Amino acid sequence: MSDKYLEFANSKLGRSIVSVLGLPKPPRLIREDSNNPHYLSGNLLCGTTTGALYSTQINQSLGATEVDFVSEEAESCHLVFDASGIRSTDQTTEIYQFFHNNLAKLPRCGRVVIIGQQPSNIDNVEHAIAQRGLVGFMKSVAKEIGRKGATANLIYLNGFGHKGLAAPLRFLLSAGCAYTNGQVITLTTPVTDIMPEHHWQHPLNGKSVVVTGAARGIGLAMSQVLARDGAKVIGVDVPQSKEQLEKAMSELDGIALALDITAEDAPQRLIDCCAQQEEKLQAVVHNAGITRDKMLSRMTEQQWQLLVDINIGSIQRINQAFLATQMLDQGGRIVGVASISGIAGNLGQSNYAYSKSAVIGMVDSMAPICAKRGITINAVAPGFIETKMTAAIPFATRQFGRRLCSLSQGGLPEDVAEVVAFYLSPQASGVNGNTIRVCGQNLMGA
């Protein structure tokens, strides 16, 4: 569903009226070009603190791109700041001075990326405190620049993760990061093999990927984006959606599997389907889910149990089945779809919020186990995304939901898909145990 207010606010007449009345003006966001994905260009100004650790890796990470590194004399540029050298709060004036002097140079839909060290991996208390402060700083910057359609995000490295800096840095500078704002990506796993540079645009060539709930909405967008990146998509959806699923997968040269994921034989049928493909299985993306909203005092046990079984129980059973094989070992990915409802809770969604919070718990608890087998597990937590479900929300509530974030608009299904594509890329092998919100920095749960 299109955002009529966004269109009006960006029209010639609308700009004048919105300005006079002091109403929010949601910017037009620049998203990935499906014909030329993951293309990086523009001016980039890099700043560092005294004792910064990763300046060399920043330059190496952006090799073979059209990015131009510029000096502070540049009038328009994206900003990357290596704050890893901040070891005490006294040293924070260095990050203040860089952004105080240069933040106004951000172009429309510009990018800010800050790089620091993971506080939990630092033994010195003063150093850890100084690095933890970067989260609040980054989130505040993100809110300040959101009116320009610009985003700010933070990458935490933990000492050995610098080899994997390229994947999150390139993602956070790309158009794929259009609706990912105010987030922290933590590299927790050593990276040993970095893919050749020519794989950046089509990182999933020769790989197969399972996407559940693939017939429509966010699942369909995931399938389209992953196919764009070279994957053979095995789309899964309920038998009632078989015709719609088959049509969608045929357009992507994918495989349609009509399957009730709660069925007792569902995990084995899914494994058998993957085993028949020529491509190596790269990932399982658990997107399928339902809502059964009701105040807890009026919710039936069936409404609770059905939702929990679909949204988290089936995921656990499928994960257990795949991990009983070696199909995902040494390079595989598992991605769960959570929600900001699972982070902040939501009125009338106690069952849904429980299930989505459990998805985050699954990622947290399974990350160390998966890491030992060369597998990563991460989650994406969408906020207000423009789908048929949100189109059914009453008008006033829908408008409120759209304007409740730093970017003053709802996201698109492809915004969620871009984060999943980042997780699945072979270059992102250092990213494990993360939950990234795709909410435009929604105030709920911030």
Q: Which residues belong to the active site?
A: 352
In one-letter notation, the amino acid at residue 317 is: R
* Nearest residue to 158 via CA among 98, 107, 116, 200: 116
- Contact by Cβ (8 Å): 367, 188: yes
Q: How many CB atoms lie within 10 A of CB 163?
A: 18
Residue 393 class from Cβ within 10 Å (0-12 exposed, 13-18 middle, 19+ buried)?
middle
Task: Return the amino acid letter for 294.
Answer: K
Structure tokens belonging to residue 329:
């070992």
Alpha helices in 82-173 (DSSP H): 93-102, 125-145, 166-173
The strand pair at 280-286 and 207-212 is best described as: parallel
d(CA 342, CA 346): 8
The answer to whether residues 285 and 315 touch, using CB atoms and an 8 Å cutoff, is no
State phi, psi for 164 to the nearest 5 degrees: -100, 15
Element (H, E) at 16: helix 12-21
Here the tokens at position 426 are: 């072979």
How far is residue 113's CA from residue 255's CA, in Å, rounded to a whole number?
37
**What is the distance between the alpha carbons of residues 240 and 436, in angstroms, rounded to a whole number?**
31
- Note whether 315 and 286 are within 8 A (CB): yes
Buried b / exposed e over 243-257, threshold 16 CB at 10 Å, is eebbebbeebebbbb
Could you give the CA distance from residue 361 to residue 366 in angstroms, rounded to a whole number?
8
Q: Which two tokens stand for residue 35?
A: 């014909």
**Torsion (CA) 317, 321, 323, 326 in degrees, nearest 10:** -160
Cβ-contact 116, 156 below 8 angstroms: yes
Q: Which two tokens stand for residue 357?
A: 């919070």
H and E: helices and strands count for the chain? 16, 13
